[in-house]
Amino acid sequence: MEDARHAFSLTPLHEVVRTWQLRVAAAPDADPFMGSGQDDSDFVDLDDILGGRP
């Protein structure tokens, strides 16, 4: 069990949780914009801002 603890990393899980926390935090700002009918054709991909997934 001790060897497994040293060999297994939770870093990928932490990255996924961090990404989703940032996405959820941004959602309240995105909904009014999307509902406003403004042109969003020149959007920036959220993965470009947050960084790609590992």
Residue 7's pLDDT is 82
Q: How far is CA 15 from CA 23, 26, 27, 41, 52, in A?
A: 12, 17, 18, 28, 10
In a domain, 9, yes or no: yes
Quick one: CA torsion of 34, 45, 19, 1, rounded to 10 degrees?
140
In a domain, 30, yes or no: no
In a domain, 48, yes or no: yes
In a domain, 5, yes or no: yes
Q: How many domains does the chain have?
A: 1
Q: Which of 2, 53, 46 is nearest to 26 (CA)?
A: 46
Residue 34's pLDDT is 73
In a domain, 49, yes or no: yes
Encode pLDDT of 1-54 as tens digits.
777 777 888 888 998 999 889 888 887 877 787 778 777 677 777 777 776 655
Alpha-carbon span 52 to 35, nearest angstrom:
27
In a domain, 28, yes or no: no
Residue 22's pLDDT is 85
Residue range of the domain that includes 1:
1-14+44-54
